[in-house]
Amino acid sequence: MDLIRHLRCFLAVAEERHFGRAAELLGMAQPPLSQRIQRLERELGVRLFERTSRQVTITAAGTMLLEDARLLLARADALTATARRIREGESGLLRAALPPDLAAEAIAAILAAFRQHRPGVELELHELSTTEQLARFTSRELDVGLVRHPCDIAGLELGPVLLRELGVLLPGGAPAAALDEVPLAALTGYGLVLFPRAEAPALHDDVLNTCARGGYTPATVRQGSGTGFVRGLVLSANAVAFAPRDTAPDDAAGPHADIVWRPLAGAPLAWRHSVAWPRGRGDAAVGAFAEAASRALWNTAAMTADAPARPLHLRPAAEYWL
Amino acid sequence: MNDTRRRIAAAFTEAGVSGRLHAVDIDSGTEIDAGADHPVVTASVHKLCLLVALHQQAAAGLLDLTEQVECPPADRSAGPTGLAAMLDPVRMSLRDAAYLMTAVSDNAAADLLLARLGLDAVNGATARLGLTRTRAVHPSFRSLFATIRKDAGPAGASALADPRVLARLRALDPARSNRSTPRDMTRLLTAVWRDEACTPEHGVAIRRLLGLQVWPHRMAAGFPFDDVHVAGKTGSLPTVRNEVGVIEYPDGGRYAVAVFTRAANPAATLPAADAVIGTAARIAVDALRARP
């Protein structure tokens, strides 16, 4: 008996609770599906489902076996993915992407952690924006990457979501610079320097929306990405900018000594990252990269786990209800 | 054509969504294809299939649209509109339940009709019209929402802001949820408007209900013209915003348009993501109308 194939049938019926729908999901007819389930029950010596004319319910024994079945199938998928990599002549090479704004220290930590766990796999690193990463997942030119949310996650599997809380860069002479923590509303009167909207429209809008929600509607929004340019605008254009702590300047001598970094009160803004890979293509090397990147970012980039949930008021036009 | 597709793609990107669209001139068959054959999650757009199935059964004499159904509050599917939001016992006709299901996407009314017809009748109706890529797999809207609750875990709706939770929702995977393609949906609308889905008498009834839909924020927003008629059915789930409908101009031009989107931002309130459905539909209809 092909145990993996039979377990896939078991899982499909357990999830769909319907032989017809499970058969459709598996791309097979219903009678052979029923036969496979019976065969699996004989082989395991355990009854997995109770069947009545109208419905299928999983037995207590079936429930106990379900988690093991899931784990076994996930391992089987990983094995197949590794085999495919070997077959496609890419054995020992993992194509991975990191976003441009990651600190050198974080990148070094990812590389070190990955090498330690997967010494036999060569890591081919690319510096790519989230949009570029998603395009390369589709064209199968990339195995794994570190994306910034929100982005279109259809067809992707994700690692844990990590938060890089944002603070504000402001001129040292600004009244708000005297505060230990700056409420968004205290930035009123200053313009905002933000990355170009075309880079990530959803995130751009989300930042401005959060500012407005916090009582800060910038008089002007200027485009800027490069660290030096952003700081130049903060000094010259009566503007502020948001930046994670790990990219903040030290309050010390240097070309931008007149700029200070302060945390935002209540941490309303954050960059959210997670490792992502195309669904069904995660293998051991991808897993090792996900683990290495999550761990390294946690340690170096002042990452935290997800923020506490805010109230959610679904409006009637949402159509769904939970 | 390429310029139209490029403008539609730019509008979707600008609004922070991934979108698929198919638009077709109901009388000439001329079309705009911007991802028309991409598998999509239908969500409440599938209520249109249910609406057509109901009228087909009525046309076949299998049920009477004035037949009364009981909707006791205890066993009502939850939702923010219509019967689903009401507190007291209700008794109404099948066709009035169909009105609530269509006009305000009433989940309880839809589940009453689904219970009366059965899932096979809905899939039979779409199959007979040749919609080979359209399929309802959830026996009720209640069961569709139950998969979301189960996949979201104990944190409930607030967990839906987490991309990792969204990535594992079965309800958002066309392989495991109610599904179709933009092309299948314009084909269904074309059949309804050409009286090929059921008898002319029932066609009128379906078109009336689709014209009574209350939502102004999606497809209708793209056509701010008092002399243009918009009829349609929306569908929404976390990150999913859809609408399929027919736009009718006073010169007789009529266009079936299906737009299915996924927003990058998991927020529930995203006016720009709703409005781009109208923007994209308008670009497509303008292009169809400009054809000689």
B212: contact with A, CB 8 A cutoff: no
Name the token pair of A139. 């064209």
Q: What does the pLDDT read at residue B33?
A: 97
Cβ neighbours for A255, distance < 8 A, ≥ 6 positions apart: none
Cβ contacts of B162 on chain A, cutoff 8 Å: 161, 306
A263: contact with B, CB 8 A cutoff: no
State the smallest CA–CA distance between residue A171 and chain B in angstroms: 31
Residue from B164, B239, B261 to probe the interface with A (highest A Cβ count within 10 Å): B164
Cβ contacts of B107 on chain A, cutoff 8 Å: 319, 321
Residue recorded with tokens 């800027």: A224
CB contact under 8 A, B157 and A322: yes
CB contact under 8 A, A150 and B234: no
CB contact under 8 A, B80 and A314: yes
CATH of domain A3-87: 1.10.10.10
Question: Nearest by CB to A312, which of B81, B163, B268?
Answer: B268
Q: What does the pLDDT read at residue A308?
A: 59
Are the beta carbons of A302 and A99 closer than 8 angstroms? no
CB contact under 8 A, B268 and A150: no
Q: Which stretch of A282-291, B122-131, B153-162 has the lowest confidence by average pLDDT? A: B153-162
Name the token pair of A44. 């395991």
A212: contact with B, CB 8 A cutoff: no
Strands A93-98 and B40-41: unpaired
Radius of gyration of chain A (CA): 25
Distance CA A247, CA A227 (A): 9
B204: contact with A, CB 8 A cutoff: no
Q: What does the pLDDT read at residue A246?
A: 72
Q: What does the pLDDT read at residue A252?
A: 47
CB contact under 8 A, B167 and A153: yes
Distance CA A306, CA B229 (A): 46
Question: Nearest by CB to A312, which of B104, B158, B176?
Answer: B158
- Confidence label for B111 from pLDDT (cuts 50, 70 and 90): very high
* DSSP string of A254-318, one letter each residue: STTTTEEEEEBTT---EEEEEEEEETT---HHHHHHHHHHHHHHHHHS-EESPPPPPP----GGG
Name the token pair of B77. 């599917």
- Which residues 109-168 of B are in CB contact (within 8 Å) with A? 135, 137, 145, 148-149, 152, 155-164, 166-167
- Which residues 160-179 of B are in CB contact (within 8 Å) with A? 160-164, 166-167, 170, 172, 175-176
| pLDDT tens figures, B176-218 | 999 999 999 999 999 999 999 999 999 999 999 999 999 999 9
Distance CA A154, CA A157 (A): 9
Tell me, letter by letter, the H, E, C secondary structure of B90-142: EEEEHHHHHHHHHHCCCHHHHHHHHHHHCHHHHHHHHHHCCCCCCECCCCCHH
Question: Nearest by CB to A321, which of B80, B166, B269?
Answer: B80
Cβ neighbours for A99, distance < 8 A, ≥ 6 positions apart: A127, A128, A129, A130, A146, A147, A148, A273
Closest CA to A241 of A294, A298, A191, A282: A191
Domain ranges, ordered by start, for chain A: 3-87, 93-306
CB contact under 8 A, B236 and A312: no
Distance CA B123, CA B125 (A): 5
Name the token pair of B194. 């050409």
Distance CA B172, CA B41 (A): 6
Cβ neighbours for A159, distance < 8 A, ≥ 6 positions apart: A274, A275, A276, A290, A291, A293, A294, B164
Q: What does the pLDDT read at residue A254?
A: 52
A307: contact with B, CB 8 A cutoff: no
DSSP H stretches of helix in chain B: 2-14, 46-59, 94-103, 107-117, 119-128, 141-152, 163-167, 182-193, 200-211, 271-290
Q: What does the pLDDT read at residue A51?
A: 85
CB contact under 8 A, A150 and B266: yes
**CATH architecture, range A93-306:** 3-Layer(aba) Sandwich (3.40)
Domain ranges, ordered by start, for chain B: 2-290
Distance CA B85, CA B90 (A): 12
Neighbours of B24 (CB within 10 A): 25
Q: What is the DSSP letter of A92?
A: T
Are the beta carbons of A83 and A46 closer than 8 angstroms? no
Please report, to the nearest 10 degrees, the dihedral formed by the alpha carbons of residues B210, B215, B218, B223 taken in order: 70
- Confidence label for B147 from pLDDT (cuts 50, 70 and 90): very high
B269: contact with A, CB 8 A cutoff: yes
The residues of chain A scoring below 50 in pLDDT are 89, 252-253
Question: Nearest by CB to B149, which of A201, A315, A322?
Answer: A322
Q: CA B138: distance to chain centroid?
A: 15
Task: For chain A, give the number of residues.
Answer: 322
State the smallest CA–CA distance between residue B286 and chain A in angstroms: 25
CATH 3.30.70.360, domain B2-290, yes or no: no
State the smallest CA–CA distance between residue A24 and chain B in angstroms: 10
Q: What does the pLDDT read at residue A253?
A: 46
Name the token pair of A177. 């610079």
Q: What does the pLDDT read at residue A139?
A: 86
- Provide, rounded to the nearest whole percent, the portion of chain B with pLDDT above 90: 93
Number of H helices, E strands in chain B: 10, 9
Question: Nearest by CB to A312, which of B157, B262, B264?
Answer: B157
| pLDDT tens figures, B52-95 | 999 999 999 999 999 999 999 998 999 999 999 999 999 999 99
Are the beta carbons of A97 and A127 closer than 8 angstroms? yes
Residue A212 φ/ψ, nearest 5 degrees: -60, -45
Q: What does the pLDDT read at residue B211?
A: 98
